[in-house]
Chains A and B, each alone.
Chain A
Amino acid sequence: MDFTFTEDQLLFRDSVKDFLQGEVTAETVRNLWDTESGRSDALWQQMVELGLTAMLVPEAYGGLGMNELDFVLLAVESGRVALPEPLVETAMVATPLLASLAQKDPRCASLLEKIATGEARVAVQHSVNALVADAHIADWLLLPQGDQIHLLARDQVSLIAQDSVDPSRKLFDVEWQGSDETCLARGAEGVALLAATLNRGALGAAAQLVGLAEAMVQISVQYTTDRQQFGKAIGTNQALKHHMADCAVKSEFAKAPLYRAAYTLATRPEHADFAVSHAKVVAGEAALLAAKNSIQSHGAMGYTWECDLHIWMKRAWALDKFWGHAGFHKNRLHHWLLKPTAKIGADKTFGEQG
């Protein structure tokens, strides 16, 4: 029994954190709002060089052969800086899906190699999301249809942009026509792969939400420490302290379910629904509360476009609804819990589905 990360996992997290905090500032994010794609190829190449896109690519295809547990802390850091690039979607959502099919399908194998080297980015559609994020910069798209999963190149589909409340989000309707040729999987296999994709997507969103929540609390603690009224820092007031403490409770205590979900996805993915939904629900709650209490703590300043806070708030609001909103995941939780066969005894914390 060991519920901790390894030294290597933590060291790598630290170096990626340093890199992201150096390269992705509020100013960077704002500058990208004014560009056509909203994305930076240069930044993507830097992440490729750090090996981030290769982490979950199997070694046979030029990757590092790691898993969701190795990546989850990096997804948290992506959230902390409100990273606009689709790193989590490519590295942790699309890549394992392709890896599941790579042995029997050379297209997937070659695509994995290109993801590792940074030559390709892949967007993923799923029925819970309706819209596809970052389809405009994807070289390939993984598109479900019923129990089928298709792989199409971007020039085989047409995209209709849907502007988002979060100026960093790039969302698209995708119109496409599949064929036997483009179909990678179908039937029971397709269903299982789509279910696993949903869980990885939800884990990735949950991890980013935890990072977003912590960032907002940090920004607000700083603001309420600096801002003076009535001759003292407003942060000395218990009303504001308690706002921030409530956020800290939510975000600190979202971590254990998040790590637990990553562990289960990495070790027993077929049993991960409960753990993933738990993580997504609590991470969403943490981020939404952090957004609400942060803007309140900033007073009128927080309501301005100029104040950076809305970069994080809007991402939190977006990701909370992505890869299954709270209602979807809460339903999965109570359906599981109240099944007659549910394993809920005092000895079942770390058992199957626990």
Chain B
Amino acid sequence: MKLSFSAEDEQFRQEVATWLQQNLTGEFAKLRFRGGPGDEHMYPEERKRWEQKLAEGGWTCIGWPTEYGGRGCSIEQQVIFNEEYARAGAPGHVGHIGEGLAGPTIIAFGSEEQKQKYLPGIVAGTELWCQGYSEPGAGSDLANVKTRARFDEEKGKWIINGQKVWTSLAHESDYIFVIARTDPDSVAHKGLGFFLMKMDQPGIDVRGIEQITGTCEFNEVFFDDAECDAGDIVGAPGDGWKVAMGLLGFERGVSTLGQQMQFQNELNQVIEIARRNGAAKNPAIRQRLAKAHTELKIMRYNSMRMLSGQGGSDGSLQKEALIYKLFWATWHRTMGELAMDVLGPESQVLEGGPYELSRLQAMYLFVRSDTIYGGTNEIQKNIIAERGLGMPKEPRVAAK
């Protein structure tokens, strides 16, 4: 165990810090500390340009292998990059679904053609991705996919029909990855395919879902004879579930670091306010700030343990990976409550009309979704109990 960075890594830190200092200026200065969770609808155009700016500096996809346009950074360097990125207040990545999910999935499971077709746009920050998993009838029961994919021999394309829902940033995205049923007679996780699709086509219709924040980050995506090239299915028809689950593994990897850094910025902002308005003298608030801080530390320690390579060497990390979603979602929800209590009566007053929420108000409302999307807390607890602790499974109703 050695919990410090090498001199070489510290030099890398300097390089990142300097680049950010020199480039997060001008038109990008207003993006500082923006675009995080609950704020993703802000400045989409500027943030897209920022993504390309990052790409020019070689700061997108830094953990990808160099052969795919990445920087081949070590885990330590990725940690450092994320730390410095957050410290500089650089904005939420619009390209994070491509960089963190679609790209790694294509690298792991995709064809050579798919790699050449899609990876450069992700690296360049010019092509944004969204994730087509959930459906109206497939929430917690994700495998209950009804969206269908049929191969049209004449056109030589896959034809997709159905609906996805809760698709973050679909309205800003160029591509979507979709799980759809390739075998109409199949049930549950069998007979699914994993498709890479262009958003800008007549068969795809995106409608925003207005949230309790009054903004639209999530969308419904309708597929009405939408087309997907024959070469754009990842793996074979029927492999969809395997690919989708592989992708979820990437979600728990390095991409958690960026999220934690955003959390740290939010917490620091709340601590600043508490110091300023006197809430930091209140013993009950002090305890809660300390709890929030220490729990965030736990998340970061655990990420470091998971990323330390040897992974799971004390026999417990697999369980920790199962626990992570429940932990961070609950943490963030509690953080929202704490922010409002620190603000006190001020928390109830809008910034302006119509329905203009302050950053922290938006966060407080947004965190209500954290404990629901990506597997509700209740589902997470079932998974921890059954897969982590080996408790007996609930008898299931047989699939029809």
Contacts and interface: CB of A to CB of B under 8 A. Distances in A.
A301 B385 CA distance: 22
A244 B6 CA distance: 40
A245 B4 contact: no
Given A242-B385, A256-B298, A263-B3, A4 B391 contact: no
Interface string A243-274: 01110110011011101100100010000000
A10 B315 CA distance: 10
A241 B326 CA distance: 14
A190 B107 CA distance: 60
Q: Is the interface of A mostly helix, strand, loop or mixed?
A: helix
Contacts of B323: 248-249, 252-253
Contacts of A233: 392
Contact of A350 (B4, B82, B267, B392): B4
Given A1-B3, A10-B314, A347 B84 contact: yes
A73 interface: yes
Given A1-B308, A236-B394, A242-B385, A344 B293 contact: yes
A307 to B, nearest CB: 19
B290 interface: yes
B327 A334 contact: no
Contact of B392 (A236, A267, A345): A236
Given A225-B392, A249-B323, A73 B298 contact: no
B1 A249 contact: no
B392 A346 contact: no
A244 B391 CA distance: 9
Interface stretch (B179-187, B232-240, B338-346, B376-384): B376-384
Interface string A307-331: 0000000000000000000000010
A337 B270 CA distance: 13
Nearest to B312: A4
Nearest to B304: A3
Contacts of B390: 221, 225
A238 B382 contact: yes
A69 B287 contact: no
Nearest to B283: A334
B293 to A, nearest CB: 5
Nearest to B74: A1
Contacts of B87: 345-347
Given A221-B390, A245-B385, A263-B3, A3 B261 contact: no
A148 B2 CA distance: 34
B297 A346 contact: no
Nearest to B299: A253
A170 interface: no
Interface residues of B, number: 66
A79 interface: no
A346 to B, nearest CB: 4
A5 interface: yes
Given A260-B3, A281-B294, A337-B293, A217 B389 contact: yes
A232 interface: yes
B302 A253 contact: yes
Interface in A1-21: 1-6, 10, 13
Contact of A346 (B75, B83, B294): B83
A351 to B, nearest CB: 8
A241 B1 contact: no
A237 B378 CA distance: 12
A282 interface: yes
A90 interface: no
Contacts of B305: 3-4, 256, 259
Given A3-B1, A334-B289, A257 B268 contact: no
A4 B310 contact: yes
A217 B316 CA distance: 14
A137 interface: no
Nearest to B13: A347
A238 B396 CA distance: 13
A300 interface: no
B290 A260 contact: no
A1 B384 CA distance: 29
Given A241-B385, A338-B289, A278 B316 contact: no
What 8 pairs across the A-B complex have the smallest Cβ distances? A241-B385, A256-B301, A245-B381, A334-B290, A346-B86, A245-B384, A334-B286, A333-B290
19 contacts: A1-B5, A1-B9, A3-B304, A4-B1, A225-B391, A236-B392, A236-B395, A241-B382, A244-B389, A244-B391, A248-B384, A248-B385, A260-B3, A344-B264, A346-B265, A347-B84, A349-B297, A350-B4, A350-B304
